[in-house]
């Protein structure tokens, strides 16, 4: 366990407690889109992320705005249909 695992927060998306290191990798290559909103009260998370990111990565992170639920459902249906074609 690293020290970031000592930073615990209640995750409003999962409905349970989670550690900072999970927030950092929630979206695979990028952190959870809520990471700044959730952690900025506790420490300068935005600066921390900017220090870690290349400008391109920061731009990609900033650009990943979550979509409305129905829009994301429709996109996932399209994607799922492609994934299951020929099965």
Partner 1 sequence: MEQRKIVLPDSEIPRQWYNIVADLPTPMSPPLHPGTGKPVCAEDLAPVFPMNLIEQEVSTQRWIDIPEPVLEKYLLWRPAPLCRAINFEKLLDAPVKIYYKYEGASPAGSHKPNTAIAQAYYNKAFGIKRLSTETGAGQWGSALSMACAMFGLECRVFMVKISYEQKPYRRLMMATWGGECIPSPSDRTQAGRNILAQHPDSPGSLGIAISEAIEDAVGNKDSRYALGSVLNHVLLHQTIIGLEAEKQLAQIGEYPDVVMGCAGGGSNFAGIALPFVRDKIHGKELTIVGAEPTSCPTLTRGPFAYDFGDIAMSTPLLPMHTLGHGFVPEPIHAGGLRYHGMAPIVSHLVKEGLVEARAYDQIETFTAGVQWARCEGVIPAPETNHVIAAVVEEAKRAKQEGKQKTILFNFSGHGMIDLASYDSFLSGKLTQHRLSDEEIARALKDIENFPKP
C-alpha distances in Å from residue 82, one per residue of 27, 29, 79: 22, 23, 5
CB of 73 to partner 1, least distance (A): 7
Number of residues engaging partner 1 in binding (CB under 8 A): 63
For position 46 contacting partner 1 by CB under 8 A, the verdict is yes
44-57 core/surface letters (b: 16 or more CB in 10 A; e: else): ebeebbeeebeeee
Binding site for partner 1 (CB under 8 A): 2-4, 6-18, 20-22, 24-32, 36-44, 46-48, 52-53, 57, 61, 66-81, 83-84, 87
């Amino acid at each position: 366990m690293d020290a970031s695992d000592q930073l615990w927060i209640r995750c409003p998306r999962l409905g349970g407690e989670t550690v900072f290191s999970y927030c950092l990798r929630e979206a695979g290559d990028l952190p959870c889109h809520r990471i700044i909103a959730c952690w900025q009260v506790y420490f300068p998370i935005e600066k921390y992320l900017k220090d870690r990111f290349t400008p391109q990565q920061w731009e990609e992170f900033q650009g990943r705005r979550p979509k409305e639920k129905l829009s994301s459902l429709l996109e996932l249906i399209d994607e799922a249909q492609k994934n299951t074609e020929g099965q």
